[in-house]
Amino acid sequence: MSPDECTLQQNSRLGSQATPGGASPQAEPAVSSQTLLRGQKAVAIEHNGEVYRLQHTRAGKLILTK
């Protein structure tokens, strides 16, 4: 096995386990789109002094616009 193949194997084995600083990976908390939209078709979200719009489409997708 070449050194490059060995490095690729090591990286693929470590990829799902290693994180920067050696911290263990944690799942991000999920918020339901129904909770955000509260029965509305769209909701305004303020972030860093700017207003974004989160909209639910007829096709069941979400669109975030500035």
Note the pLDDT of residue 33: 95
Are the beta carbons of 53 and 42 closer than 8 angstroms? yes
Q: Determine how β-strand 42-47 pairs with β-strand 62-65.
A: unpaired
pTM, entire model = 0.56
Phi-psi sector, 36: left (phi>0), alpha (psi -120 to 50), beta: alpha
30-66, what's its fold?
Answer: Complement Module; domain 1 (2.10.70)
| Domain residue extents for the chain | 30-66
Tell me the per-residue pLDDT of 6-59, one tens digit each, with 9 for 90 and over.
444 444 444 444 455 555 578 899 999 999 999 999 999 999 999 999 999 999
Is the pLDDT higher at 29 or at 4? 29
Is the pLDDT higher at 1 or at 53? 53
